[in-house]
Structure 1
Amino acid sequence: MMEKYIRNFAIYGFFIGLGLAILFVKYKEVIKLDPDTTMTSYVSVFDYVVNVLRSSVVGAIIGGVLGVFIGNKPAPIQEVGNNTELIKDEEVKY
């Protein structure tokens, strides 16, 4: 059961990290040379993809760790044994 939480949280963390990385990882750098002149240099595709995937893997790791803590809940206590007979006897009296 806990493995399911870890796996789901890691997958969700990867995709959330991928989306955020696509939005926020810089793909160009603008350098101001003069008051009227700017130079734009673009990051290579390989470097951009590596940065995006690195951010996604970090999101997956964080999601997996959250899955460990959330999926590590104790199981609910179930009463078994003679208590059920006592409960049935009490219901009959009412």
Structure 2
Amino acid sequence: MSQEFESIWDAIEPTVGDALVMKVRFKIMSAIIRECRLWKVSRNIASKRLNIGVLRYDQLLACDIASFNIDELVVLSLKAGLDVRLEVQGA
């Protein structure tokens, strides 16, 4: 019997909470990567703009999501000039 999931994270993470954290991390990381590619500068310059090493920058561009937590990604997004907002909906 096949099971359908809303996202890859829902399929591979053990809990709904874990899947949500990964979705947030991926969304922030993807936005940072898009922004960095728009700069059209060398790896050295881009990594300096983000205040990280070149190897760490390479991990970012490779979308090595397991190597970055939400805190790091939020800080990097600010350094990249992005505006991160969070919306919580409920009763």
TM interval, short-chain normalised? 0.3 to 0.5
Q: TM (normalized to structure 2)? A: 0.34
* Bigger strand share: 1
Higher RCO (Cα < 8 Å, 6 or more apart): 1
Q: TM (normalized to structure 1)? A: 0.33
